[in-house]
Amino acid sequence: MTTESFHAASEKQIDDLLSGDRTRVKSAVDQLPRNELVSALNTPAGEQALANAFELMPSYYTAGKFDHTVLVRYRVDRPDGGAVERDVTFGPENCVVRPVDSMSVPDLTVTMDALSFVEAATGITRGMELLMRGDLKVQGNVQLALKMEAFFGLAPGGKTR
């Protein structure tokens, strides 16, 4: 990826965004202007960064929160780049990320824009705040949605950008 994809971003910030390391991604998100980050997430590189975040979910998952398997369908909307969607199965021992299976009925569907997803995934903004702002929509098991941050070890005290 080149810096043309992230006009205001340095090479280090681009590397950090694509690193998959929560601390590095959070640092880049904190430093980049909001409008630049939104634009960047609409590029092919932004789609890759979102896909990387999904693929890393199992490494951040805190096992033992469930006694049975639940399916959460994520839809991350990108106005100019199309949605990034994944099915994530949470179980007693692990979580598994897969492409969406239209034949499966999720216990919960989570829909948000790309910036909100990145802010939630890095702990910058709490899910409840995103929900109250209308940037996060949930359908299905709302109790499950309220516990999502705990699944990934995100601190309860996120901050607003």
Q: List the strands of the sheet with 70-77, edge to edge.
A: 95-98, 84-90, 70-77, 108-113, 136-140
- Residue 155: what pLDDT? 52
Q: CATH number, domain at 120?
A: 3.30.1050.10
pLDDT more than 90, % of the chain = 41
**Domain limits for position 81:** 61-151
Of the spans 50-59, 89-98, 116-125, which averages the highest pLDDT?
Answer: 89-98
Q: Within 10 A of 36 (CB to CB), how many other CB atoms are there?
A: 15
For the whole model, what pTM was predicted? 0.86
Q: Distance between terminal CA atoms of the chain?
A: 26
**Which residues face 109 on adjacent strands?**
73, 139
Instruction: Give tens-digit pLDDT for 40-87.
Output: 888 888 888 899 889 989 988 988 888 899 999 999 999 887 899 999
| 40 and 79 both lie in a single domain | no
Domain tally, the chain: 2
Give per-residue burial for 52-68: e unless 16+ CB within 10 Å, then b. Answer: ebbebbeeebeeeebee
Q: Is the residue at 159 inside a domain?
A: no
Domain assignment present for 28: yes
- 114 within domain boundaries: yes
Q: Which of the two residues, 151 and 114, has the higher pLDDT score? A: 114
Q: Are residue 90 and residue 40 in the same domain, yes or no?
A: no
Strand 108-113 to 70-77 pairing: parallel
